Amino acid sequence: MTPRKTFRIMFRLFNLLVLLLFISCGSNKSKLSEYNYFNRNYFYNDSLKVGIDFDKNVQFREVAVSNEKEFKQVLKNNNIASKDLFLVADAKENGIEMYFFYQNAQPLSANFKNAKILVSDTVNNTFLFEKQKGKRKVLGLVKTNSRKDKNFSLFVNDLLNKIDIDSLNTKKMSYVSIFIKNFPNIHPNPLFASKKLETAPLKSEMGNDDKFQFLAAVNASMSNNKLYDSLIVDYEKERKQNFTSVITALSSKEDVYKDDEVFGKIAEIAKENQVIMLNEDHYYPKHRLFAMELLETLKANGYHYLSLEGFNSQSSEKETTPNYKNGIYTDEPYFAHFIRKAIALGFIVTGHENFEKGIDRELGQAKNIIKILEKGPNAKIFVYVGHSHIEKKDDKDKWMAEYFKELSGINPITINQTVICADTKQDLTLIPRKYLADTTKVKSSADYFLVNNLKPSLKIIYPNAEFKKVIVKDSKFSGYKNKEVLVEIIDFKEYAFMNNLAIPIQSFLTIPKNSEVAFELPIGKYHIFIKTDYDKTIYDQDMIVN
């Protein structure tokens, strides 16, 4: 699956995420649930080797035991402890609650029946059953809220048959489903999602496969990240081999622009052109950083609109700052900084994503950009997209830029920063198409190609701010002296306004030392979260840096 196809799937599924329930992360979460994986109604625990293929109406929720007395009594009578709990699910349409427990047991004899009902309480509408294979035993405590459910016993027997021990249905599980389930659109924990993807019970093919793509996208949200660095080194290796010598040879050309010259050249282009389209690779914060730095140049040359792929501006609050409701890409801190700066400069930030069913996505995107021109024919628009949407000519597919050119009569200037990777002395190198048109290594019709070797840093975002060292102390950190934790820094004003919809200004990984976590921040007020790869929040406090 190619990157653009995977991210197309990601975008569609991410917008459905609010319809899906996910396991919450309370402090009483069972340790056995750490290796739970979900794909809609299919469940699998890789550590316990237990799979359950539920009915279509099942919903998963927090892994915690009910406080009802009859539940506790049944568990006590059958020597089941709360620590044995690994899954809680509801069949809400039927009013049924399900609790699943795991125990190691004595191996079964060859003739022993491995599934049976232990408790059938028709007064309280509660069943307890067990299923065992070898040493692995699963116990299910099932209760219905319907007093007259004649089919309840049939439901329990059917459920018993759906439990598989030592068997994974690979057709029911995918990296897409793991990403969607563990990377929700409201304040996700990318460290937790990364662990779930990395340890998923699925085979990963070599090369640019689904596992890599989702891992890279999730880890791009976290700086100081060795896993991300290793993924990107492999991702760029072949292109650097192909292009480093080519770009080095071109660097002496007068019309190949480097560092500050890049902004000067784009200023010239912006004066004479109404639409500029820049693409990104969704794994790269540095691509968002360049787009952000380009805003002042475009604003000075009459650009007033910023149109973003995958961006949803239909949230209930007035758009004054980026938030998690904006879509799949804005949860990365540097994308959020990009939007913050656009708003501060007075850009009208909008989205051109096609949400209309039955219309080609590329055509729909082009039409949505044209709607800006219908309101103001002379409007100057900065269009920011992923990968191939900027292509004005392609032998296989017809992309947004080609539709836009045909329908609007405007030939957009396109800049591609996804194709070329090269080791250069410069942070930025802008190359006109004429120097790369004849090489078979470049698969793009873009007008210009950008080599982007920027190094994202919070000091670039706040160039005039005074930074101070911050030390956060907490006894809970002592349990993580050899493990990475995720530190999220949120601007206090944004957090006070939007709470869990607020996107961090910085997210990074670190290992606590002596029950301390140290970092630098500009003088100001913030809210700090520190989280684990088990999706547990171990620090949640306001902070003033002065």
Spell out where 394-442 has E strands: 413-416, 428-432
Q: How are beta strands 524-531 and 485-491 bridged, if at all?
A: antiparallel
Q: Which two tokens stand for residue 331?
A: 């949860």
Task: Let me know: does 220 contact 228? Beta carbons within 8 Å.
Answer: yes
CB-based contact 279:385 (threshold 8 Å): yes
* H-assigned helices in 251-332: 260-272, 285-299
Q: How many CB atoms lie within 10 A of CB 482?
A: 7
Q: DSSP labels for 6-19?
A: HHHHHHHHHHTGGG
Sign of the CA dihedral with 448 first, then 457, 185, and 189 last: positive
Contact 277, 414 (CB under 8 A): yes
At 159, which amino acid appears? L
Q: Cβ neighbours of residue 110 under 8 Å, at least 6 residues apart? A: none
What would the pLDDT profile of 302-333 be if each residue is shown by its tens digit? 999 999 999 987 544 445 789 998 888 889 99
> What does DSSP assign to residue 370?
H
Name residue 116's beta-bridge partners.
Answer: 130
Cα distance between residue 41 and residue 51, in whole Å = 11
Q: Is 90 within 8 Å of 96 (Cβ atoms)?
A: yes
Domain-wise residue ranges, the chain: 25-170, 172-235, 237-456, 459-545
Strands 257-258 and 42-45: unpaired
Q: Give yes or no for a contact between 516 and 477, defined as CB atoms under 8 angstroms apart.
A: yes
Give the H or E element holding residue 132: strand 126-133
Q: How many residues does the chain have?
A: 546
| CATH number for the domain running over 459-545 | 2.60.40
What is the sign of the dihedral through the CA atoms of 117, 121, 125 and 126?
Answer: negative
Question: Within 376-470, where are the H helices?
Answer: 400-408, 458-461
Return the pLDDT at 113: 59
Q: Which helix (H) or strand (E) holds 489?
A: strand 485-491
Domain 25-170 fold is Jelly Rolls (2.60.120)
Contact 102, 146 (CB under 8 A): no
Side chain identity at residue 467, one-letter code: F
Q: Which residues of the chain have pLDDT under 70?
A: 1-30, 110-113, 146-150, 204-208, 314-319
Distance from CA of residue 85 to its chain's centroid?
28
Q: Are 339 and 349 in contact (CB under 8 A)?
A: yes
- Compute how many other C-beta atoms are within 10 angstroms of the C-beta atom of residue 59: 15
Q: Say which CATH topology domain 237-456 has.
A: Rossmann fold (3.40.50)
Tokens of 320: 């004054």
Q: What is the DSSP string of 150-193?
A: TTHHHHHHHHHHHEEES---GGG--HHHHHHHHS-SSS--HHHH
Neighbours of 77 (CB within 10 A): 11
CA–CA separation, 434 and 366 (whole Å): 26
Are 46 and 55 contacting, i.e. CB atoms less than 8 angstroms apart?
Answer: no
Task: Tokens for 540, please give them.
Answer: 């949640």
Q: How confident is the model at residue 208, as a pLDDT? A: 47
* Residue position matching structure tokens 């065992």: 132
Coil vs helix vs strand at 509: strand
Looking at the DSSP bridge assignments, the partners of residue 90 are 59, 97
- Is 517 in contact with 476 (CB distance < 8 Å)? no
What does the DSSP 8-state code read for residue 33? G
Q: How far apart are CA 286 and CA 310, in angstroms?
A: 19
Please list, residue by residue across 109-140, b when 16 or more beta carbons sit within 10 angstroms of its beta carbon and e when fewer do. eeeeeeeeeeeeeeebbbbbbbbbbeebbbbb
